Structure 1
Amino acid sequence: MSKVAKGLNKKGTVKKSLLSQIKKNKLAYGLIAPALIAMFVVHLVPIVSGIWMSFLKLNQFTLKKFLRAPFIGLQNYWTVLFDPTSTIRSGFIDALRNTAIFSVICSFLVIGIGLLLAILLNRKFRFQGLARTLLMTPWVVPSFVVGLLWGFMWQQDGVINKLLVDIFHFLPEGPYWLTGPKVLIAIIIPTIWRTVPFVMLMLLAGLQQIPVDYYEAAEIDGANSWQQFRSITLPLLRSVLSIQILNGIINYIYSFNIVAMMFGHGAGFPGKYGDLLMTNINRNSFQIWQFGPGAAATVIVMICVLGLVALWYKVFQDDLVVND
């Protein structure tokens, strides 16, 4: 077999070595080099340091030694995952369950509501620009401000209970939203409220890239609105939807600001029904000085997220292929 034949891939194109690509596009690689170096310093170094910390006995007594603290192997992981006497383990399991429920509900509702609003805003109507601007307002508000505002609104004598009880009479009395099983609802709703505008904007941009001719041809063939949505809109939005799903998975698992500010203005505890992974890890690491188990819990979360990303890539890999 000739050298040319060996260098052909399945598509019949000659494989280019990385070195030849760098030589050919040296200006481009030179321009992105500072960004790559910055990403290495900002991302890779803390990740490696965090993984190493998860193998150390790092607490308030050994903090001065930091990365030279006593090495204890996998003991921190055992404490987080399996030690029945550890309060960190019970809290971590509760937070893991709450985060899973929180992420699934937010993912479905944000994508559904965002797609519905995008379809509505893609139509021509009076004050269309004003409607788009108003719907984008929640996304402009910083997440910690959202947590503070909704924390006040969920109070026993707050706006939510006044609307539900005094004005619309949906409930006989105002429930306690910030304690007990209803806490997760109080976290999910403001998260959806703030996240929907961004997803709506991305889906709206995707809708505007779909040629109108497709819908006109489908209408001539007798397709109704649902058939057009199922056969044209969804398939052509699949790539945009896939990115939003991935973005949502990562953001919901790492949610912190809204919950932290809603309960105790950054230092509160939402209880076992509302504690999420990030608030749990932050509290165990910086309030009770368990930096080693906190680092181990962070690594566990990172591995879970990487697994979900790999699953996402397996499902949506065909939508990420860019044809040359």
Structure 2
Amino acid sequence: MLVAPSVLLIVVLSVAPLLAGVALAFTDARLVHNPHYSFVGAANFTRLAGNTMFWSSFRIGIVWAVSVTVLQLVAAMGLALLLNADLRLRGLARVLALVPWAMPPVVVSIMWRMIYSPNAGPLNAVLRAIGLPGDTNWLGSFTTALPAVIAVGVWVGMPQTTVTLLAGLQQVPVETYEAAAIDGAGAWRRFTAVTMPSLRPIVTSITSLNFIWNFNSFSLVYVLTEGGPGGKTMLPMLFTYIEAFQNRNIGYAAAMGVVLVVVVVALLGLYLWSQLRNEDKP
């Protein structure tokens, strides 16, 4: 009875919309006034199987999600170790580290579009000042658009991962580090033998959550590039949004959503299984 209110909220706000989306995926529903739609079976999924543009966006989404998740973890780990050290103004540094997380995604996107501006952007200005080519159209070039967007994704998501890792670092007993140091372990050995094993459950959980959030990213990339140039940053969520709200094919877009959910759950299940198997090894 104590968990009934929370279970009810989950059912109403999460399970019911998910089931409704799955049901729509088997219809020819369209976003029109007075909609009339019928059951079409697996027709949407059959059509989706031959949609090369969707699968191309799916590959881009995997590259985006994996790259951002891994780089976020590496950068956040370094920052968390730094913020956990006994340094002056550590409290101020911890507050400043949260600034990207506190900014709305649309504001972040507009700010980075200004930074990446090929003519008046400060990034190109700095490159020109140090004698490097400073005329790159970062968000408009086929070769730089996706890396530029990935860099923004890492910058935005790093604070949350940093806070989580920092909380875990503060739970590691100092005596463990002292014992390792007495045994002759250097800084790198203490990190691999003490820090990482202590943080492994946290790393597993935050990496899983980050992968889901990054794969489902929409607003950041939409404001930055709208999927361009030439679809080089067209993430699956953007493709699904365009199909649903511009082409008005709600049933077809719902089928895309179902496929994305199944694939993400399968990838996460494989990742968690490998992590748990490694933890069970002596």
Structure-1-length-normalised TM-score: 0.81
Instruction: Give the aligned partner of residue 93 of structure 1.
Output: 55
Aligned pairs (5 A) from 1:121-136: 121-136=83-98
How far apart in 1 are the matches of 2:93 and 2:274? Answer: 35
Bigger mean CA offset, 191-200 vs 89-98: 89-98
Contact 1:239 1:319 in 2 (8 A): no
1:272 has 2:231 as partner: yes
Q: 1:79 aligns with which of 38, 44, 47?
A: 47
1:56 has 2:27 as partner: yes
Instruction: Point out where structure 2 has 5 or more consecutive residues left out of the alignment.
Output: none
Q: 2:251 aligns with which of 278, 292, 313?
A: 292
Find the residue that maps to 1:194 and give its secondary structure: helix
Contact 1:238 1:319 in 2 (8 A): no
Aligned pairs (5 A) from 1:172-321: 172-179=133-140, 180-263=142-225, 268-270=226-228, 271-317=230-276
User: What letter corresponds to residue 223 of structure 1 in structure 2?
Assistant: A
Question: Relative contact order: is structure 1 or structure 2 higher (C-alpha 8 Å, sep ≥ 6)?
Answer: 2
1:164 has 2:134 as partner: no
Residues 255 and 320 from structure 1, CA distance in 2 versus in 1: closer, same or farther, beyond 3 angstroms?
farther
1:319 positional shift: 9.0
1:102 has 2:58 as partner: no
Q: 2:9 aligns with which of 34, 38, 41?
A: 38
1:60 positional shift: 4.8
Instruction: Give the aligned partner of residue 17 of structure 1.
Output: none
How far apart in 2 are the matches of 1:60 and 1:195? Answer: 33
Instruction: Give the aligned partner of residue 35 of structure 2.
Output: 65
Structure-2-length-normalised TM-score: 0.93
Instruction: Give the aligned partner of residue 113 of structure 2.
Output: 151
How far apart in 1 are the matches of 2:13 and 2:130? Answer: 50
User: What letter corresponds to residue 309 of structure 1 in structure 2?
Assistant: L
Runs of 4+ residues over 4 Å off in structure 1: 318-321
Contact 2:27 2:38 in 1 (8 A): yes
Find the residue that maps to 2:3 and give its secondary structure: helix
Root mean square deviation of aligned Cα: 1.8
How far apart in 2 are the matches of 1:81 and 1:159? Answer: 43
How far apart in 2 are the matches of 1:282 and 1:186? Answer: 22
| Identity of matched residues, % | 29
Contact 1:80 1:297 in 2 (8 A): yes
User: What letter corresponds to residue 242 of structure 1 in structure 2?
Assistant: T
1:134 positional shift: 1.2
1:269 positional shift: 3.7
Contact 2:60 2:234 in 1 (8 A): yes
Instruction: Point out where structure 1 has 5 or more consecutive residues left out of the alignment.
Output: 1-29, 83-88
